Structure 1
Amino acid sequence: MSPRPRRSYDQYCSAARALDAVGDRWTLLIVRELLAGPRRYTDLHADLPGVSTDVLASRLKDMERDGLATRRRLPPPGAAYVYELTVRGRGLLPVLEALGAWGAGELGERRPTDAVRAHWFALPLLRALREAGATEGVVEVGLEEGTFHLHAGARAEEEGEPLYGDGPAPGPSDARLVLDAVTCAALGRGEVGLREAVRTGRVGVTGDGAAAKALRED
């Protein structure tokens, strides 16, 4: 499938130019998924419930054309194709963080039709960790919806490393958090800080790393 002809607002405005590239439905959510590192097409499709295969393929082609993502083949024994963000694509991280903060107020009670993946809370929790002073290390997060891990701190952001990943941390973690989706949403809305949530028992913390110690400080 070849990329669609580029559509444009034809306005000499930086916001309009940005929306020319990322304003289509699903594009920014694909970026959200690729912030976890290289992903196979099938993995992306599984974690973007509601997107059709044709639309996902089309958006990925558009993102390659616009320099937001690249496609490469993994070496054996993997031998699968994966998509990953370019430097330009990763530059959308603060855009997604700001958009998530702006939209956090819309996360009221979960609707029956709402899909959820545990790692969709990764970006709000990374911001909450920064605000709590837990600025370095690997943090494992356990929710009823699943487990994921975060790479807190500027190094992952600056060096192009994955910011989060599904499942337990691949090695020793600096902290493990246990909480529920309601608390995650409250953290995203700024109704409670992470250290306050730890102090009041809404978030459980284990571990002896710097991140765990920062969250347990009074």
Structure 2
Amino acid sequence: MPRRSYDQYCAIARALDAVGDRWALLVVRELLAGPRRYTELHADLPGVSTDVLAARLKDLEREGVVTRRRLPPPGAATVYELTPRGRGLLPVLAALASWGADGLAERSPTDAVRAHWFAVPLVHRLEQVAGGRAGVVEVALEEGTFHLRLGGEGPPSYGDGPAEAADARLATDADTCVALARDVRTVADAVAAGRITVTGRGPLADALRGA
């Protein structure tokens, strides 16, 4: 069944034709952290039905945003991952996160939360503080752990879970991440107030500590 189109010769309309359906950009958000199995995607997209998730993945594959591949043994599972076109949506999601951050001022009791949902707004805050220093930063919250890859040749990126090797480790909480995302607190302020603890040695850790 063909998807609906805005039928407008406009770059914004074309983009929304590709990723404007409900859940589509949240699927992309999850895959920015790396390849994921269907069950992992479903677990980290609370509220989406299996039928809708399958349809969105198929739509995103057709648009060249997502691809599927089979892991070699012993994994032998199918994973979904972003294509280069899909990874190009990171700055789009970063802009959306910045624009929508004020909506985090109040949290409803029914709101789900995952630690890595703070990664997109946080990676750009830490990039500014890092001042071009490259490395991996592990961020631990009560809700879970994720890691950020800063600097280097490519754009910043992130992954779910602990880092295999981190140049710096940050311990903080969701409220501090929200304050950073909303731009009501700086990294330096949070470190000085003890809301962020930085461990590690080297230029990147020193920069994040403000040393």
Q: Alignment identity in percent? A: 69
RMSD of aligned residue pairs (Cα, Å): 1.4
For structure 2, the residue ranges without an aligned partner over 5 or more in a row are: none
Structure 2 counterpart of 1:71, from 68, 71, 76: 68
Q: 1:91 aligns with which of 84, 88, 91?
A: 88
How far apart are the structure 2 equivalents of 1:71 and 1:165?
18
3-state SS in 1 of match to 2:54: helix
The answer to whether the 8 Å contact 1:198/1:204 transfers is: yes
**For residues 153 and 56 of structure 1, what CA distance do their matches in structure 2 show?**
33
2:196 is matched with which residue?
203
SS state of the match for residue 105, structure 1?
helix
Counterpart of 1:47 in structure 2 is 44
- Partner Cα separation in structure 2 for residue 167 and residue 64 of structure 1: 26
Count of matched residue pairs: 210
SS at match of 1:101: helix
Aligned residue for 2:147, secondary structure, equals strand
* SS of structure 1 residue aligned to 2:139: strand
Out of 152, 164, 175, the residue aligned to residue 150 of structure 2 is 152
Does residue 1:139 correspond to 2:137, yes or no?
Answer: yes
Partner of 2:170: 177
SS at match of 1:201: coil
Q: Distance in 1 between matches of 2:168 and 2:122?
A: 13
| Structure 1 counterpart of 2:120 | 123
2-structure distance, mates of 1:75, 1:169: 22
Q: Which residue of structure 2 lines up, in the alignment, with residue 166 of structure 1?
A: 160
Partner of 2:79: 82
Aligned equivalent of 2:19, options 22, 30, 33: 22
CA shift for structure 1 position 210 = 2.3
Q: Provide the rounded CA distance (Å) in 1 between the counterparts of 2:152 and 2:186.
A: 20
- C-alpha separation between the residues in 1 aligned to 2:94 and 2:62? 24
Instruction: Give the Å deviation of 1:167.
Output: 2.2
Structure 1 residue runs without a partner (length 5+): none
Deviates more, 1:144-153 or 1:129-138: 129-138
- Secondary structure (helix, strand or coil) at the match of 1:95 reads helix
Once the two structures are superposed, what CA deviation does each residue of 1:107-139 show, in whole Å capped at 9, x if it has no partner? 012111100001101111101101212542111
Between the aligned partners of 1:116 and 1:209, the Cα distance in structure 2 is 32
Structure 2 residue 28 is the aligned partner of structure 1 residue 31: yes
SS in structure 2 at match of 1:155: coil
TM-score scaled by length of structure 2: 0.95
Distance 1:206 1:76 in 2: 37
